[in-house]
Amino acid sequence: METTPSFSNYLDMDTALAYAHKTDSRINENSKQIFEIKDEMTAMKNEHSRNKWAHERDAEEIWAILKNAAKLSEETKLINKENAARMKETDKRMNQLFNKIGEENAARMKETDKRMNLLFNKIDKENAARMKETDKRMNLLFNKIDKENAARMKETDKRMNLLFNKIDEENAARMKETDKRMNQLFNKIGEENAARMKETDKRMNLLFNKIDEENAGRMKENDKMIEEIGKQMKETDQKIKELSARFNSTVGNIMEGLMRPSSFKIFKKAGFSINRCLRNMKRKNKEPLLAMELDALMIGDTEIIVLEVKSSCDCNDIDKFLFHMQRFRTLFPEYDKLNLNVYVAIASLNYENEADLYAQKQGLLVIRVSEEEIFTLDPFDNQNLRIF
């Protein structure tokens, strides 16, 4: 190992520069060798990716290169460590020296930079020429390998096509023979199945004919029973309709009978001046042909209330009665001459589909059966009552 030169007596600048140049040369040389190893490894990697030729390279040669690279790397680390200590001491002493002879150093450094630039330019040119030559050789090698591979692939394709054609011909012959045997087998099975199906069809036809004869007899009996049941249901429906009509008529008569004594009390309690009640009033004109029947007509000093009594009431019943009320003043002119307000009241045991609310919206008075009293009048607003 070389010893560090002493600068205690301030030797001339040339000696210090010579030592520094020698140290830099060693570092550059080691770095150059490392870069050459890296370039060689890169070339090996590229060769490996392009062709199988790289796999056949000598493993001992690669191992030797790797060992040499590791050795150089360790040596470089040791040198760098030594140089770091030396450079620290050198920097300290060089600063003292540079402060004293700065002007001389500036000129010498300028000359040194010039020489170094010339040297680097020369090295760059040499490296460029070498890289160019290397690229040229690599391209020639790759082109050669590509041509060889192309020829080999072409030959391989040719052999594979011949092999596939041979296999196709053999398979075609085998398939033809298989198809022939399968057709013979299917024809034989088809003939056997045809005979079996013919016998099966014959037996099934006999069975279906027997079933049809039995079903025909049963259907005839069923039709007769259905006809008798339909006749009985028709008679039952007629009886139900007659009973329903009688029931509604009876309930209506009961309602009308109960309403007459209760109506005075209900309407007087609501503020109407009712003093007379006429029942079952009928009128009919020939020209124009009009007819109207009223269950009850309540007459007072200031108003007339036409009362319609129903056992069950829906919205259609209300619309129908409102339509008939358009004829009231024509068919009952004697009450039209009195110039009294005419109102309509509906009384029913049952209001279907909210017919009571619909009647109130039409401006009618609504009477219903109550638990406390026989009949009650629903609350109303005088301003909403409709005058006919």
**Model confidence over 11-68: pLDDT tens digits?**
456 676 677 777 777 777 877 777 777 777 777 767 666 655 445 556 677 677 777 8
Condensed to tens digits (0 to 9), the pLDDT of residues 258-271 reads 566 677 888 888 88
Q: Quick check: helix, strand or coil at residue 37?
A: helix
To which residue do tokens 């007072």 refer? Answer: 300
Residue ranges of E strands in the chain:
274-285, 290-300, 303-313, 341-351, 365-369, 375-377
Is-contact 352 342, C-beta < 8 A? Answer: no
- Please give the average per-residue pLDDT across 349-378, as a whole number: 87
Is-contact 277 298, C-beta < 8 A? Answer: yes
Contacts of residue 305, Cβ cutoff 8 Å, sequence gap at least 6: 267, 272, 274, 297, 298, 342, 343, 344, 345, 365
pTM as predicted: 0.38
Q: How confident is the model at residue 364 (pLDDT cuts 50, 70, 90)?
A: very high
**Distance (Å, whole) CA 259 – CA 163:** 113
What would the DSSP string read from start to end of 237-251? HHHHHHHHHHHHHHH
Is-contact 260 266, C-beta < 8 A? Answer: no
Domains assigned to the chain = 256-384 (3.40.1350.10)
Q: How far is CA 125 from CA 20, 35, 183, 281, 309, in A?
A: 25, 17, 83, 135, 126
Name the more confident of 55 and 203. Answer: 203
Phi, psi of 288 (to 5 degrees): -70, 160
Helices vs strands, H then E, count in the chain: 7, 6
- Please give the average per-residue pLDDT across 133-150, as a whole number: 87
**Distance (Å, whole) CA 343 – CA 357:** 17
Instruction: With both helix axes pointing from N to C terminus, report the angle between 59-100 and 102-269 in degrees, rounded to the nearest 10.
Output: 110
What percent helix, strand, coil does the chain show, rounded to 5? 75, 15, 15
CB-CB neighbours of 275 under 10 Å: 11
**Distance (Å, whole) CA 40 – CA 68:** 13
Q: How confident is the model at residue 366 (pLDDT cuts 50, 70, 90)?
A: very high
Is-contact 223 282, C-beta < 8 A? Answer: no
Q: Which long-range contacts (CB under 8 A, 24 or more apart) does 264-273 make?
A: 266/367, 266/375, 266/376, 266/377, 267/298, 267/300, 267/305, 267/377, 269/377, 270/377, 270/380, 272/298, 272/300, 272/303, 272/305, 273/300, 273/301, 273/302, 273/303
Condensed to tens digits (0 to 9), the pLDDT of residues 238-257 reads 655 555 445 455 555 555 55
**Distance (Å, whole) CA 132 – CA 139:** 10
Computed over every residue of the chain, the mean pLDDT equals: 79
**DSSP summary character for residue 374:** S
What would the DSSP string read from start to end of 91-110? HHHHHHHHHHSHHHHHHHHH
Q: How much is the pLDDT for 90? A: 78
Q: How much is the pLDDT for 8? A: 45
Q: Are strands 365-369 and 303-313 parallel, antiparallel or unpaired?
A: unpaired
CB-CB neighbours of 117 under 10 Å: 10
Q: How much is the pLDDT for 346? A: 92
